[in-house]
Structure 1
Amino acid sequence: MASSSTPQVITCKAAVAWGAGEALVMEEVEVSPPQPLEIRIKVVSTSLCRSDLSAWETHAIFPRIFGHEASGIVESVGLGVTEFKEGDQVLTVFIGECMSCKLCKSGKTNICQVLGLERKGLMHSDQKTRFTVKGKPVYHYCGVSSFSEYTVVHSGCAVKVSPHVPLEKICILSCGVSAGLGAAWNVADVSKGSTVVIFGLGTVGLSVAQGAKLRGASRIIGVDNNPQKCENAKSFGITEVVDPSLYKEPIAQVIKRITDGGADFCFECAGDTDMITTALQSCCDGWGLTVTLGVPKVKPEMSAHYGLFLTGRTLKGSLFGGWKPKTDLPSLVEKYVNKEIQIDDYITHNLSFDEINKAFNLMKEGKCLRCVIHMSR
């Protein structure tokens, strides 16, 4: 832990991606001190999210340090930071909350004008990076870059949590589980007795299922062609599974047939824009609502016949489940502590930092939900 003197550059291990799809390389990186309104965090645990995998496979900005679902301990703070002090336990978040911009003050959204989605792998304050390897800049990801023993984030992109909560568990509330629960509760407002269809049974989709179950949905249908995911889905609230590969007819027709005209709520959690159209077609006329959560690797544009909307269907986007991170995330942590929500069962693998490439391979092969990577120093 740093002393109260001015923070200095820290040299530590980080898993650096040097090119798209290339194995991450464990490097000695120099981590700069936090600048004004920033904090430097000693990462305790971090998990691999599918958006990390998608960006690693496709993004053009390299070298880069991925990772954004993380928990850690504040090592030092920059000028102007009053909310955090050395030793605080925190969760990182990929969208911030400045609490003072028009959108933050509106009460209508969790999108922040100041600390929205990160761009170009650079820090918000000065458009520079806080990582270097032998003098070469290494870029950030989602404003977090938690695949490093130490990282620097804007203080608006961290949430203080109780010193008594298990950091190795709650790190997955930084993105996936929270995104799914919030999509069911905040964005869709799933109603009791409703029929819900979830396309994609990864961590996000199964978190939607948990949220729908807790809201009292009567049918929660999971759509996925991965037998391993389908086998485990019912423990998270899925009542039945549909494997599209087993049907000759379009899956939207299957859903409409087995739900007497379509579902009340559909959730696209696979990151496939064609699946958004399928989800819309699977909703019922009049009030059917489709929520899209996935981040597509390719083909970001979607298309849908206007008649789907004329007949009363709605399409909504969901970023981080509508949660305002600083305002709302502590309540989710409290729900976990009080055993009102489950998160432990989403952790299928616990790995050491040196095994990070194994985590990427497991996710590529569809053999995990969340791999939690435990840092050590």
Structure 2
Amino acid sequence: MESSKIVRKITCKAAVAYGPGESLVIEEIVVDPPQKMEVRIKILFTSICHTDLGAWQGRNEAQKAYPRILGHEASGVVESVGEGVTDLKAGDHVIPIFNGECGHCVYCKSENTNLCGKFRVNPFKSVMVNDGKCRFSTKDGKPIFHFLNTSTFSEYTVLDSACVVKIDPKAPLNRMALLSCCISTGVGAVWNTAKVKPGSSVAVFGLGAVGLAVVEGARAVGASKIIGIDVNPDKLAKGQKIGLTDFINPKLIDKPVHEKVKDVIEGGVDYSFECAGNLDVLREAFLSSHDGWGLTVVLGVHPSPRLLPLHPMELFDGRKIVASTFGDFKGKSQLPDFAKQCMDGVVKLDEFISHELPFEKINDAFQLLIEGKSLRCLLHL
């Protein structure tokens, strides 16, 4: 690769957040070249996750660094690589991942975790690992902070190579963007974390994109009963298309949700998944699982300082609770095969994209998510 290609800066458009709740500003920014073990990517598609929404609204103190480029669910093409990067080259089709994998640390070498000692998801991180600096700046030279190892609301972004996954160039990039977060998180929680067995019963609390990805994962492994719980009645039709067998709207029942679940499945479900980021919902999910062997998997982001709504003695009844990060997928080593499974139709992606808009309409896409009208709005750059 020509060195001039590596060293030049790029001026491009990005959606910049200047403060919590303020409309994102589409403006020209400067993107520096990738440094050692970094990659610069041309983003072709990106979408908006509830984590982006929560960060934009300022719900989590750890995410209040401004100005900032949000976004973490995307796909694109490698534009250039920095010194030392050998597994990626210009032109490669890639997806960014917020939970990186260096492949060398004690964590990456362990089969018991998908966390990396250096590049795991970290909401406090807003600069690059190499030098503690930003690779984005305004046209007058002021730094613009990074977000979740990715910052995909930009025509070009710079990531640590540990956070870039090369995929089959035949894979449709407009669908592969979903593997950056929601699909991998939800399906992986079923396949890797819970290891849901065929014929078992599942309850999913919160039917956003991650919750519906849990439904899809449960359908794909042959769960016999998949119960969806959500206060939005519109989620019933969407869930049924993906694989729901039953639906409970907590606003329309006169008893606790866990009791209603046990009306559907005697004793409770084998597996429950909490995808709402609400501790009261988490308790209902826990109580919905079957006495003796039920497993509850936590997927929702919980910014509240409240602690787990459980008494230690309740765990002696045999129920278990565990959290899942990025569906327990090791991103760089396992996601390429998962992408192939999606291409082969094992996991269906089309139902998850409810809207498509040009990148300049990103504030409209945020509003669709706020109003509960969109599942995933795919933005074209």
What is the TM-score normalised by the length of structure 1? Answer: 0.96
1:73 to 49, 62, 77: 77
Q: Distance in 2 between matches of 1:308 and 1:282?
A: 13
Once the 2 structures are TM-superposed, how far is the Cα of residue 300 of structure 1 from its aligned partner? Answer: 5.5
Aligned to 1:307: 313
Aligned to 1:130: 135
Alignment of 1:218-229 (within 5 A): 218-229=224-235
2:372 to 347, 366, 372: 366
The count of residues paired between Structure 1 and Structure 2 equals 375
Q: Distance in 1 between matches of 2:19 and 2:43?
A: 24
Alignment of 1:123-202 (within 5 A): 123-133=128-138, 134-202=140-208
Contact 1:36/1:80 (<8 A) preserved: yes
Pick closer, same or farther for the CA change 1:226–1:257 going to 2, 3 Å. Answer: same
Once the 2 structures are TM-superposed, how far is the Cα of residue 191 of structure 1 from its aligned partner? Answer: 1.2
Alignment of 1:208-247 (within 5 A): 208-247=214-253
SS in 2 for 1:106: coil
The answer to whether the aligner puts 1:32 opposite 2:36 as a matched pair is no
SS in 1 for 2:107: helix
Aligned to 1:351: 357
Once the 2 structures are TM-superposed, how far is the Cα of residue 5 of structure 1 from its aligned partner? Answer: 4.0
Q: Distance in 1 between matches of 2:210 and 2:47?
A: 13
SS in 2 for 1:105: coil
Once the 2 structures are TM-superposed, how far is the Cα of residue 348 of structure 1 from its aligned partner? Answer: 0.5
SS in 2 for 1:270: coil
Contact 2:354/2:374 (<8 A) preserved: yes
Residue-by-residue CA offset, 1:14-47 (whole Å, 9 max, x unaligned): 0001001111001111111101000100101111
What is the TM-score normalised by the length of structure 2? Answer: 0.95
The answer to whether the aligner puts 1:295 opposite 2:301 as a matched pair is yes
Task: Tell which deviates more after alignment, 149-158 or 250-259.
Answer: 250-259
CA RMSD of superposed structures (Å) = 1.4
Q: Distance in 2 between matches of 1:369 and 1:326?
A: 26
Q: Distance in 1 between matches of 2:137 and 2:312?
A: 50
2:100 to 96, 100, 118: 96
Aligned to 2:325: 319
Q: Distance in 2 between matches of 1:237 and 1:231?
A: 10
Percentage of matched positions with identical amino acids: 47
Q: Distance in 1 between matches of 2:314 and 2:173?
A: 44
Which residue identity does 2:179 align to in structure 1? L
Which residue identity does 1:239 align to in structure 2? T
Contact 2:271/2:294 (<8 A) preserved: yes
Q: Distance in 2 between matches of 1:2 and 1:243?
A: 58
Once the 2 structures are TM-superposed, how far is the Cα of residue 281 of structure 1 from its aligned partner? Answer: 1.0
Contact 1:291/1:316 (<8 A) preserved: yes
Q: Distance in 2 between matches of 1:2 and 1:203?
A: 41
SS in 2 for 1:104: coil
Once the 2 structures are TM-superposed, how far is the Cα of residue 338 of structure 1 from its aligned partner? Answer: 1.3
Q: Distance in 1 between matches of 2:167 and 2:34?
A: 20
Once the 2 structures are TM-superposed, how far is the Cα of residue 166 of structure 1 from its aligned partner? Answer: 1.4
Q: Distance in 2 between matches of 1:297 and 1:351?
A: 30
Residue-by-residue CA offset, 1:337-377 (whole Å, 9 max, x unaligned): 212210111001111010100110011111111111110xx
SS in 1 for 2:108: helix
Contact 2:6/2:34 (<8 A) preserved: no
Q: Distance in 2 between matches of 1:321 and 1:345?
A: 20
Aligned to 2:12: 12
Once the 2 structures are TM-superposed, how far is the Cα of residue 210 of structure 1 from its aligned partner? Answer: 1.1
Contact 1:280/1:308 (<8 A) preserved: no
Residue-by-residue CA offset, 1:205-235 (whole Å, 9 max, x unaligned): 1111111112111110000010111221111
Which residue identity does 1:337 align to in structure 2? M
Aligned to 1:22: 22
Q: Distance in 1 between matches of 2:6 and 2:201?
A: 57
Task: Tell which deviates more after alignment, 246-255 or 352-361.
Answer: 246-255
Pick closer, same or farther for the CA change 1:5–1:184 going to 2, 3 Å. Answer: closer
Contact 1:121/1:142 (<8 A) preserved: yes
Which residue identity does 2:236 align to in structure 1? C
Contact 2:6/2:81 (<8 A) preserved: no
Pick closer, same or farther for the CA change 1:231–1:128 going to 2, 3 Å. Answer: same
Alignment of 1:268-287 (within 5 A): 268-287=274-293
Q: Distance in 2 between matches of 1:209 and 1:2?
A: 47
Residue-by-residue CA offset, 1:87-125 (whole Å, 9 max, x unaligned): 111110001101110111011110000111233311122
Once the 2 structures are TM-superposed, how far is the Cα of residue 6 of structure 1 from its aligned partner? Answer: 3.7
The answer to whether the aligner puts 1:257 opposite 2:257 as a matched pair is no
Once the 2 structures are TM-superposed, how far is the Cα of residue 3 of structure 1 from its aligned partner? Answer: 7.2
Contact 2:136/2:144 (<8 A) preserved: yes
SS in 2 for 1:44: strand
Residue-by-residue CA offset, 1:291-327 (whole Å, 9 max, x unaligned): 0111124346322122320100000100010000011
